[in-house]
């Protein structure tokens, strides 16, 4: 029995599917299925069974889940405990839009100031409580997240607008990956405007969605300050809607102070500084070349 096997079981049990667990852990579905199969054989119990489109716990799985979650969290703490002398580690998960635009300059500046090894990953909002409680992430940045043992506080106020080409189509809505997260601000806006799923096209990243909107393929939700340069150049124009501009916040979520890592607490304090706010508001201005150290993007798997 290994930490990888227990981690696969915990994520499948909490998220309800092998696919969701693989996405959260940053590995392939076969890797999760193999780890789960090995644990089943070792313990002699199915642990989870399929019911409709979800995986549900067996009686043995229910008894194991709490213990397995504690073991996975302790395993992450053990790895950190046996590396004295090394820089503290910080893993931050974000929604896809923030990871695309903000992660690089924000974590680079933080790592330079605090001598911390900072890594990033992309996560859906529903996955965040499990990633934090399992110690596979230290801080989440994006939508407000609720959960037992978690604290979530706003770090930046912003506005969501709709942009498009002056003469482009208005019947297609172009979104990045965050548009598929039901808890994201983009999804909230689409619900307020009662946009039908058939009208939505999802792109590999937010830049591609805005590029398609500039070419006239449709309209795109956008965080106002992140798209300001395209608006100044006239590549995109604001499109009036009944729901925009929509007030929104970026939240930082972590474990409660008594249980979070020291690096997580330091990062939360850093997010309230003027320098961090400036980076989040104008990430396209970058930082001096001499101070740039790119953050490492890693899969969440042990």
Does 87-285 match 3-82 at the fold level? no
Which two three-digit tokens encode residue 107?
């974590």
- Going 37 to 43 to 45 to 51, the CA torsion angle's sign is negative
Predicted pLDDT of residue 291: 47
What pLDDT does residue 165 have?
95
Domain ranges in the chain?
Answer: 3-82, 87-285
The answer to whether 119 and 295 have CB atoms below 8 angstroms apart is yes
Least Cα distance to 241 among 221, 268, 214, 261 occurs for 221
* pLDDT value of residue 302: 39
Question: Which tokens hold the place of 124?
Answer: 């859906």
Q: What angle do CA 273, 276, 282 make, to 5 degrees?
A: 135
Phi-psi category of 159—alpha, beta or left, where left has phi over 0 and alpha has psi -120 to 50? beta
pLDDT confidence of residue 10: 86
Phi, psi (degrees; rounded to nearest 5) at 90: -140, 125
State the pLDDT at residue 299.
Answer: 45
**Strand 246-255 relative to strand 150-164, pairing:** antiparallel
Backbone phi and psi for residue 19, each to the nearest 5 degrees, phi listed first = -60, -45
Q: How high is the pLDDT of residue 86? A: 61
- The 3-state DSSP class for residue 164 equals strand
CA angle 293, 284, 236 (to 5 degrees): 150
Report how far residue 109's alpha carbon sits from residue 117's, in angstroms, rounded to the nearest whole number. 12
Gap between the Cα atoms of 95 and 291, Å rounded = 25
Please choose, from the candidates 131, 166, 136, 171, the residue with its C-alpha nearest in 3D space to the C-alpha of residue 147. Answer: 131
56 DSSP β-pair partners: 49
pLDDT in tens, the chain (302 residues): 898 898 889 888 888 889 888 887 878 999 999 999 999 999 999 999 988 888 888 999 888 988 888 788 777 767 666 665 566 788 899 988 898 999 888 988 888 777 788 888 888 898 899 889 888 889 999 999 988 899 999 999 999 999 999 999 999 999 999 999 999 999 999 999 999 999 999 999 999 999 999 999 999 999 999 999 999 999 999 999 999 999 999 999 999 999 898 889 999 999 999 999 999 998 876 554 444 455 544 444 43
CATH code given to domain 87-285: 3.40.190.290
Q: Considering the domain 3-82, what is its CATH architecture?
A: Orthogonal Bundle (1.10)
For the chain, helix (H) and strand (E) counts, in that order, are: 12, 12
């Amino acid at each position: 029995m290994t930490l990888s096997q227990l981690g696969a079981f915990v994520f499948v049990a909490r998220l309800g599917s092998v696919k969701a667990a693989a996405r959260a852990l940053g590995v392939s579905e076969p890797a999760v299925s193999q780890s789960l199969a090995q644990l089943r054989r070792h313990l002699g119990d199915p642990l989870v069974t399929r019911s409709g489109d979800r995986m549900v716990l067996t009686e043995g799985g229910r008894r194991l889940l709490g213990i397995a979650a504690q073991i996975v969290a302790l395993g992450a703490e053990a790895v950190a405990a046996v590396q004295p002398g090394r820089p503290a580690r910080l893993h931050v998960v974000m929604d896809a839009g923030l990871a695309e635009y903000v992660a690089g300059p924000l974590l680079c500046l933080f790592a330079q100031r605090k001598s911390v090894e900072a890594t990033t990953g992309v996560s859906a909002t529903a996955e965040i409580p499990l990633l934090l409680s399992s110690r596979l992430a230290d801080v989440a940045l994006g939508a407000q997240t609720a959960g037992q043992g978690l604290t979530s506080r706003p770090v930046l106020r912003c506005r969501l607008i709709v942009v498009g080409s002056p003469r482009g189509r208005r019947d297609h809505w172009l979104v990045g990956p965050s548009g598929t997260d039901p808890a994201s601000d983009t999804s909230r806006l689409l619900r307020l405007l009662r946009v039908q799923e058939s009208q939505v096209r999802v792109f590999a990243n937010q830049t591609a969605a805005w590029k398609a909107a500039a070419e006239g393929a449709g309209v795109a939700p956008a965080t106002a300050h992140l798209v300001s340069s395209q608006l100044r150049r006239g590549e995109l124009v604001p499109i009036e809607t009944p729901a925009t501009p929509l007030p929104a916040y970026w939240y930082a979520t972590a474990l409660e102070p008594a249980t979070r890592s020291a690096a997580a607490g330091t990062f939360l304090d850093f997010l309230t500084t003027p320098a961090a706010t400036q980076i989040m508001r104008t990430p396209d201005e970058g930082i001096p070349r001499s101070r740039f150290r790119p953050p490492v993007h890693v899969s969440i798997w042990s």
